[in-house]
Amino acid sequence: MEQQAIWAIGIFLVIYALIISEKVHRTIVAMIGGLLMVALGIVDQETALHHIDFNTLGLLIGMMIIVSITADTGLFKFIAVWAAKKSKGNPVRILIALALITAIGSAFLDNVTTVLLMVPVTFSITRQLRVPPIPFLITQIIASNVGGTATLIGDPPNIMIGSAVKELTFMAFINNLAPIAALVMVIYIPIFVLLFRKQIQTTPELTKSIMDLDEKELITNHKLLRKCLTVLGLTILGFFLHQSLHLESATVALAGAFVLLLLTGEHMMEEAFTKVEWTTIFFFVGLFVLVSGLIETGVIAKLAAQAIELTNGDVVATSLLILWLSAIASAFLDNIPFVATMIPMIQEMGNMGVSDLEPLWWSLALGACLGGNGSLIGASANLIVAGMSGKEGHPIKFVQFLKYGFPLMLLSIVLSSFYVYFRYLM
Amino acid sequence: MQLTYRFDQECVQIREAADGADIEFEIKILQNGILLKGIKEVQKKFEENSVYTDVLFYAYEDHKYKVIVRKDYYVEFILALMERQILRSVEWV
C-alpha cells in the first residue's frame, strides 16, 4: 500500500475515534481531519473542494432558513396544541399524535429541525398534564428517525445518498422508502402505547385544561404565516418535481429560502442566518474532505473489492450485509461519517461490475436511518433531544433509551430485510 | 426578602399560587392595547430564550393566561411584567 494511503487511513481512524469519543466537538475534529488531508498533500485543495457536496449543504441551509422563519409564526406550536385538543387531552393519544406529527414533519422538513421544534412544545404540554416528558421524547426521537427515512430530505444520510446518486430523485425515495417507513411506524404505535401508557396517567381536571387552551393565540404573525406556508408548499412541490424541472434539490430549497427572505424583508435575514446550524454544515465539509483522502488514495476501492470478495458479488448477500452493517454501525457511531464512507464504496462496487446498485442504496438508507434508533448516540436527532431534555432537568440515560430503542431498531431492520428482499432481490 | 407587586385591578387580574417547585399565575388582561401587547412580549421573551421550562405560557379565551414559573425564574418573570407595565410597582419587603 502506498505511503499516502497509509497516512489517509491513519488520519481517518484517529479522526473517527475522536468523533466517537466526543472529547472535542465533532465539527472541529472533522475540519481538522479534512485540513490535514490537504496540508499533507494527500489531496490537493482543488480536488478537496471538488469532493465537497454542495448539493447536500445547500439543501440543509435552505431548509434551515425556511423552517426557522416559519417557526417564528408559531405554526408548529399551533399544530401540536391543536393535535393535543383533537386527542381530547388524553396523554396516550397525545403521545401518538406528537409522534405522528414528528414523523411527518421529519419526512418533509428533516428530522433534526423537527425535533428542535417539537421538544419545547412537548415540555409545555406534559407540564400542563403533569406527566413525565421522557416517554414523549423517546417516542419522538424514534418517530423522527422513522419519518426521516421516508424521503430524500428527511435525514442527513438520505440527503447525502440522494445528492451523490442523481438517479435517486425525491420521488424515488418516496416510492421506495416511504412504504416501509410507514409500515414501521404503524407497527411502532401500539408498541409505544404498551410501553408507556402506565407512566403517563393524568387527571380529568388537567385534561380539561388542555381542552380549554386557545391554540389560535399561538399564531403570532398571520401575514408572515401565509407567506411561509406558500413558500413551504411550493418548495415541497419543487422537491416532487425537481427531476422534471432539471433542478437539484439544493436549488429548490435555496430558491424557497431566498424567495421567503425577499417576501419577508431584510430584517428577517440576519436572524434567519443566525439560526442556520453552521456547526453541522462545517461538519459535513470536514467529512467530505476527510473521505476524499480515502477515495483519492484508492482505499475505498480496496474496501469495495474486499466486500465484493466476501459476498462473491451476490447482490442479495451484499444488500443484506450493507443493511445490517449500516444499522449496527449507525446505532453506535454517528451515521453521517459512516454514510460518507459507504457512498464511494458502493459507487466503486458499481465500477467493479455490480450491475444493480439500487438495492444497495436503499439498504444503506434504511440501515443508516433506522439504525439511528439503536442507541442514544445513533443519530443527530437523538443527541439533540437528549441534550435539550438533560438541560431541563429530565436526563435521558443511555441505557434507558437503549432498552427501548435497540429492540425497536432490530424489529425495523428485520422488517426492512424482508422488504428489500421481496421488493428488489426476488 | 420577598418580592411584592401591585397592579391596576381595572386593567388586569393576577393571582398566584405555589405549585410544588413552581409558581402558577393566572393572569387576565381586561383591556386591549398596551397590556395585551405587553403580556405577549413577555411570553415571546421567555419562549425565545434557551431555557424551555423556565416560564410556560398557556393562552385561553378572553385574554386569560395560565403561566407556570419555575421558582428560580420568579424574579425575572415579575420584572418582565413590570417592564411591560403590567405591574404598577415592585418592591422588596
* Residue A77 contacts residue A217 (beta carbons within 8 Å): no
Q: B52 and A392: CB-CB below 8 Å?
A: yes
**Chain A residues within an 8 Å CB radius of B68:** 127-128
In a domain? residue B93 = no
In chain B, the residue whose alpha carbon lies closest to the alpha carbon of A214 is B60
Which of A81-85, B46-50, B56-60 comes out lowest in average pLDDT? B46-50
Q: Is A353 helix (H, G, I), strand (E, B) or coil?
A: coil
- From the CA of A50, how many Å to the nearest CA of chain B? 38
Distances (CA, A) of A294 to A39, A87, A344: 15, 52, 9
Supply the CATH number for residue B41's domain: 3.30.70.260
DSSP string over A157-184: HHHHHHHH-TT--HHHHHHHHHHHHHHH
Q: What is the ipTM of this complex?
A: 0.88
**Chain B residues within an 8 Å CB radius of A393:** 53
- From the CA of B82, how many Å to the nearest CA of chain A? 22
In a domain? residue B15 = yes
- From the CA of B29, how many Å to the nearest CA of chain A? 14
Q: Rounded CA gap, A372 and A395, in Å?
A: 19
For A37-56, the pLDDT digits (tens) are: 999 999 999 999 999 989 88
Residue A153: count other Cβ atoms within 10 Å of its Cβ: 28
Q: Is A43 helix (H, G, I), strand (E, B) or coil?
A: coil
The confidence score (pLDDT) of residue A1 equals 59
Contacts with A, B 31-50, CB within 8 Å: 40, 44, 47
**All three cell numbers of A203:** 387527571
Whether the per-residue pLDDT at B4 is higher than 80: the answer is yes
Q: Rounded CA gap, A60 and A69, in Å?
A: 14
**All three cell numbers of B45:** 421573551
For residues A176-186, give the mean pLDDT.
Answer: 97
For B73-89, the pLDDT digits (tens) are: 999 999 999 999 999 99
In a domain? residue B65 = yes
**All three cell numbers of A324:** 445490517
Q: Is A247 helix (H, G, I), strand (E, B) or coil?
A: coil
In a domain? residue B13 = yes
**Candidates B51, B52, B63, B64, partner chain A, best to mutate (most A CBs within 10 A):** B52
For A369-390, the pLDDT digits (tens) are: 999 999 988 888 898 899 889 8
Q: Report H helices in chain B.
A: 34-48, 74-83
In this complex, is the C-beta atom of A138 within 8 Å of any C-beta atom belonging to chain B? no
- Amino acid (one-letter) located at A135: P
Q: Rounded CA gap, A45 and A39, in Å?
A: 9
Strand partners, B70: B22
The confidence score (pLDDT) of residue A414 equals 98
- Amino acid (one-letter) located at A301: A
Q: Rounded CA gap, A66 and A109, in Å?
A: 9
**All three cell numbers of A405:** 430503542
- Per the listing, cell 449543504 goes with A57
In a domain? residue B20 = yes
* Residue A261 contacts residue A283 (beta carbons within 8 Å): no
Please state, rounded to an integer, the average pLDDT across all residues of chain A: 92
In this complex, is the C-beta atom of A120 within 8 Å of any C-beta atom belonging to chain B? yes
Strand partners, B65: B27, B59
φ/ψ region of B8 (left if φ > 0, alpha if ψ in -120 to 50, else beta) reads beta
Number of residues written out for chain A = 426
Q: Rounded CA gap, B25 and B28, in Å?
A: 10
**Geometric angle at alpha carbon A24, from A20 and A25, rounded to 5°:** 85
**All three cell numbers of B92:** 422588596
Closest Cβ–Cβ partner in A119, A217, A393 for B59? A217
For A10-35, the pLDDT digits (tens) are: 999 999 888 888 788 889 999 999 99
Closest Cβ–Cβ partner in A124, A214, A388 for B56? A124
Total domains in chain B come to: 1
Q: Rounded CA gap, A276 and A281, in Å?
A: 9
In chain A, the residue whose alpha carbon lies closest to the alpha carbon of B61 is A214
Torsions phi, psi of A154, nearest 5? -75, -35
Tally A–B CB contacts below 8 A.
Answer: 35
In a domain? residue B57 = yes
Q: Which domain holds residue B9?
A: 3-88
For A244-298, the pLDDT digits (tens) are: 888 988 999 999 999 999 999 888 898 889 888 898 889 889 999 999 999 999 8
